[in-house]
């Protein structure tokens, strides 16, 4: 496990610890950003915890809750962290547990490290280029980063159920996604559709619980970079529907095109 991967895992887990304090308190202090998406004090607290860890690497950070960074300032960055302090703030507010902390290290526009932590579920997904992708259960009362790799299960994990399974957004289901599901139902005799929040959808495909994740609705780079790393390092593809290539990062426009994970 590289130094950078360890740092990202520590950042995600400690951010998750702070998020859970606020989650269980019920005092979310909800406001709204310019795009009308919700913001809670947990998003802000998570951002500050992650920043305090990742700054030790001297690699620049692009975070959803950080200050806006002009493309002119970041276009020549060979490496950067891409962070979503809470992916699935709507799920956090609903208190359904389906939210995550996302941290990715991107090198030459390609995610080379991915860490996704779901605090309520206690599930940690992590990956590194040339090492693979893994899932492990985290116990915050007895957190030992050195034992994680020994206990982690390598992804994908084979499942006995061979039903063709599609995972889609719980909060952002689009007409185009529904049409894609109908196409798959015409192709396969038995199709199962699962709704899930946040980057857990990417994790489900990487883990082998789902066969594909069509995303035909808006997402940002910080929503997908960590999940793409985990999927890629588990042997899967995250295909940009416009370019027909693997999605790239640190683009001028941080809004992703539609994509398909399979």
CATH superfamily of 3-154: Fructose-1,6-Bisphosphatase, subunit A, domain 1 (3.30.540.10)
121 DSSP 8-state letter: T
H-run or E-run covering 261: strand 259-261
So where are the chain's domains? 3-154, 164-261
Alpha-helical runs (H) found in the chain = 3-25, 41-54, 71-74, 89-94, 145-151, 175-187, 200-207, 221-233
**Tokens encoding 247:** 């999605």
> Tokens 């992708």 identify what position?
133
Residue 51: its pLDDT value, please?
Answer: 98
Residue 35: its pLDDT value, please?
Answer: 80
**Tokens encoding 242:** 């416009």
Asked if the 164-261 domain carries CATH number 3.40.190.80, the reply is yes
Gyration radius from the chain CA atoms:
17
Low pLDDT (below 50) residues in the chain: none
Instruction: List all residues 6 or more positions away from 87 whose beta carbon is below 8 Å from its beta carbon.
Output: 99, 100, 101, 102, 198, 199, 222, 223
Question: 63: which strand partners?
Answer: 83
Pair 136, 54: CB distance under 8 Å:
no
Residue 1: its pLDDT value, please?
Answer: 86
Question: 80: which strand partners?
Answer: 106
Pair 19, 42: CB distance under 8 Å:
yes
């Amino acid at each position: 496990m590289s130094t950078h991967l360890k740092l990202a895992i520590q950042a995600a887990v400690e951010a998750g610890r702070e998020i859970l304090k606020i989650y269980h308190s019920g005092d979310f202090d909800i406001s709204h950003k310019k795009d009308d998406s919700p913001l809670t004090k947990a998003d802000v607290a998570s951002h500050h915890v992650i920043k305090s860890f990742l700054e030790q690497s001297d690699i620049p950070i692009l975070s959803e809750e950080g200050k806006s960074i002009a493309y002119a300032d970041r276009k020549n960055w060979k490496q950067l962290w891409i962070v979503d302090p809470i992916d699935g703030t709507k799920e956090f507010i609903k208190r359904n547990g389906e939210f995550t902390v996302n941290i990715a290290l991107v090198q030459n526009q390609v995610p080379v490290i991915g860490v996704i932590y779901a605090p309520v579920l206690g599930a940690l997904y992590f990956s590194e280029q040339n090492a693979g992708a893994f899932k492990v259960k985290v116990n915050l009362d007895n957190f030992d980063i050195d034992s994680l790799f020994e206990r982690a299960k390598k992804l994908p994990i084979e499942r006995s159920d061979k039903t063709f399974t599609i995972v889609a957004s719980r909060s952002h289901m689009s007409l185009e996604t529904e049409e894609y599901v109908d196409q798959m139902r015409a192709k396969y005799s038995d199709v199962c559709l699962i709704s899930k929040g946040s980057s857990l959808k990417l994790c489900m495909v990487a883990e082998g619980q789902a066969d594909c994740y069509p995303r035909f609705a808006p997402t940002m780079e910080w929503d997908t970079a960590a999940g793409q790393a985990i999927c890629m390092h588990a042997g899967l593809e995250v295909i940009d529907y416009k370019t027909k290539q693997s999605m790239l990062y640190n683009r001028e426009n941080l809004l992703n095109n539609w994509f398909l994970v399979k």
